[in-house]
Amino acid sequence: MKKIVLSLLIASCMVFVSCKKSETETNKDNAEPVASTEGNIYKANPSESIIYWSGSKPTGKHMGTVNLQEGEFIVKNNKVVGGKFTINMNTITVTDLKPDDGKEDLEAHLKGTGDKDEKDHFFNVEKYPTGLFQIRRIEDENGKTVVYGNLSIKNVTKSVNFPATINVSDNEINFVSDSLVLNRTYWNITYGSKTIAGTLKDNLVHDEMILQVNVKAKK
């Protein structure tokens, strides 16, 4: 139960969106550069923004949340044209387990704050306390708004894209992503992966991590 993978994300209601692999693409190679963009700044409210994650293995799955540390959208002509968001990896929380029923053990395993031998199994928050998502561009494609950006975890940056609903008003932005299905091994999170030689069946963790993001920001 303890050895299960984490997946990052952000939302304002605890409804987990079913994922479609075709909706999220990950560039396994180098990420694209982020161009500087000018416009009005809307600051993210960490207390109203959250990342929902889910990870699984053959015998079951776990889910939880991660919080934003800070972030901002850049808006021009009433449209989001850029932004960046820092993820506080120390806030990784498991929501499907109760205290004293494996919750603390799994959280420590994911953070790498428990057994020293397990420090780098997943996110090693002492060494990598934050993650980062940067928006490169946003495009309308086939009736959907698609966000293109770079996701950095454990000092590894990869290009990702995903559909999202973005509502911009004079003073507020509500950003809700579709579910992201990401291959965690691209960010060197390889514990229990079937792609790693010597992984025992009992320790197998699926490579896919699933995230869903909700951000609220104000001008």
pTM: 0.82
The whole-number pLDDT of residue 20 equals: 39
Q: Quick check: is 94 in a domain?
A: yes
Q: Quick check: is 11 in a domain?
A: no
Q: How many domains, in total, are found in the chain?
A: 1
Q: Quick check: is 193 in a domain?
A: yes
The whole-number pLDDT of residue 116 equals: 78
Q: Quick check: is 205 in a domain?
A: yes
The whole-number pLDDT of residue 200 equals: 54
Residue 213's domain comprises 21-218
Q: Quick check: is 3 in a domain?
A: no
The whole-number pLDDT of residue 57 equals: 87
Q: Quick check: is 4 in a domain?
A: no
Could you list the pLDDT tens digit for every one of the 219 residues in the chain? 433 433 333 333 333 333 333 345 555 556 777 767 789 999 999 999 999 999 998 888 999 999 999 999 999 999 999 999 999 999 999 999 999 889 999 999 999 998 878 888 899 999 999 999 999 999 999 999 999 999 999 999 999 999 999 999 999 999 999 999 999 999 999 888 887 755 556 678 999 999 999 999 999
Q: Quick check: is 12 in a domain?
A: no
Q: Which of 70, 55, 213 is nearest to 149 (CA)?
A: 213
The whole-number pLDDT of residue 115 equals: 80
The whole-number pLDDT of residue 135 equals: 97
Q: Quick check: is 97 in a domain?
A: yes
Domain with 117 in it: what CATH number? 2.40.128.110
